[in-house]
Structure 1
Amino acid sequence: MLKQNKIKYIGYYYSPELGQPKRLYSPAAATKMDYVASTLVQNDYDVEILSLCKPEKEGIVFNKKTHHHNGYTINLIASLGTGNKLRNVLDYFLGNLILFLILIFKTKKNEMVFVYHSLGYGKTITLAKQIRKFKLVLEVEEIYQDAVTCSTRQRKQEKNNIMAADAYIFPTYILNSELNTSNKPSIVIHGTYSIQKNDSESACTDGFINVVYAGTFDIKKGGVYAAIKTAQYLPEIYKIHILGFGSDEEVKSVESLIKQVNDSSSSKVFFHGLITGKDFTDFLFSCSIGLSTQEPNAKYNETSFPSKVLTYMAHGLQVVSVRIKAVEGSDIGGYIHFYDSNRLELIAETIKNIDLQKITDTRDVISDLDIKTIKKMSNFISSVTQ
């Protein structure tokens, strides 16, 4: 079996630290890729991320250099840029062609290639694997057909892409049981187990209990709206802070709802928009409770893991979450404050029942998971290369 100390890791990855031109990316996906890459680095692997992110603005972009970031290298694949429909189609084929050629000419038989599951390049990966016979380690964060509308062809292709893998990284034990029916090598990593250090004077001293929702404003998921409306059932000692991202229409909808709630509630809601980097870290350290409010009956809840839960815990926050199997049956399920339905009164009651004087430091829980995961990754890689 091939021995290697280099691993290619494919995904839609970007970091603002990489500079201009900026690329479109999912912060949650990039954060998870950062963590997986860090566990590989700590196991003495040289990681190269191949990213297919498109530029934020129109225009052709070529990768003129290899970036060095967080202990690994990043190559941003050339792009024709976003714009009209024709350019988007051509860019899709260009990115996949470049990726295919890299895999064909720069991988070897039995070499491990890590891939963040995506419909955007899944077929290309599968075809290259059939030719070069590399070991495909597929990181499946969710089943896309559970979260978005997919055609019959896309559903079939997604299933084929997943089944083609030699090993898996899953965010939940449920997803492992559902997809890994052949009992291939696998590892469950719920999210990012990197604790944050409080280097600022961000602890709240204003006498209020600060509660935060940080995440998507997607109306289909509904979590932000439940978080805002919960203020109607909380006393004025609580403040709810809304951080996150969405379309212009979704942002306006969130701001409008906040105004309505503040006009009639003792507890007040504050809108902060998208905050990143150190500002985001400092802000979370000024809060005590994090909300993981979302639609409890949505199909994606059965398999995906809400990354915000671990983000809150990494900053020492207590987490209030709807009771879903993926979280309850996880390695951190015993440290979460669950509610059982989206009744606003029940969410508020769960928040009020948290005794902030008698709590576990959630950063200790995350730190312990980090140590265990680095060791598990070593064992996982050994099982893949056997």
Structure 2
Amino acid sequence: MTAEPGAWSVSVYDRIRDIPAAAWDACANPQGLPFNPFIAHAFLSALEESGSATAEKGWAPRHLALTDERGEVAAVMPCYAKSHSYGEFVFDYPFAEAYERAGGRYYPKLQTAVPFTPVTGRRLLVRPGVDAEQARALLSSAAVELAKASDASSWHVTFASRDEWASLGGLGLLQRTDTQYHWHNRDYTGFDDFLASLASRKRKAVRKEREQARASGIAFEWLTGSAIEEAHWDAFFAFYMDTGNRKWGRPYLTRAFFSLIGEAMADRILLVMAMRHGEPIAGALNFIGGDTLYGRYWGCLESHAFLHFEACYYQAIDFAIARKLAHVEAGAQGEHKLARGYAPETTYSLHYFANPGLARAAKRFLEQEREAVAHEQEALSEALPYRRCE
């Protein structure tokens, strides 16, 4: 696929391992930018090699790589041909239903995303020294061309950066927003310092939740790096499968995925294990970024009051303060996070529809939705538990 004859070209890869890891990571996580574990070659490769994100699972890799006139990789973009809309966290079922009501076929579609990972980050990954606007325009044009060649109904870029959202919106992609809840470190010296920033009633509620989470003799351990062993992954996978089967109906990740990331990214992993009488009963898997702790998966074999809040939210805050990380992102949805100090933040996605009629209808819908999201965030911010300045 040629983006600009004689100068730049875009190639499509069915396996990320066919793109050299060093070339990919030079675009994804260059020096000078906070490290994002989810766009690293090792993470995306683990999804494919473990059988978690494959054509058989409805996530057929179609990664794009832009090379310059010297044949060097200048930019890359994770991309998948999807046969469903599971594992995305930006819900497009209304678009799919409208397409089908009109007699069209919504699937396959193209998805530029990190599978099963609702974490904001760069999606069109440009190497430093390359004109970012030009590279994005070339990758965008190539993705639209790939969608047409694949008879795909659409192309979606989900959980993009704010900068990409503005840039690609200027190229004609439809813009969408949504809300997540993130915790921000105000240079706290410890959890008690964080609690002191809360209104009295909220502070007492958090303390009570933490006490009740330990009421049954539960203790919590932090595991990272070489301290994480296969036995820990065995235990965590049992938690993940039990909770996933109840919550989603079909968990996305295979057991092999956890071993692969444990081998390749152990120093970027925080595994919080809840222990009762010396036995693991629950766990939360987090990834350590350059300035952010990302909460990803959780599961349990026993039900205890506030165990989920402690393992996923309060332990994450404790760790972020200890490591002097600026933020905690605790995953998708959840207004209940507000009372625990997690503030509403905007997430961004972009959309291209091949059908002009659907594109016009989607544009009107998204304009109204963006306005509603902005108003909702204003109201949510008023519910944050922090003390008001006198």
Same topology, TM > 0.5: no
Greater relative CO, 1 or 2 (CA 8 Å, sep 6+): 2
Higher strand share: 2
With normalisation by structure 2, the TM-score equals 0.29
TM-score with structure 1 setting the length: 0.29
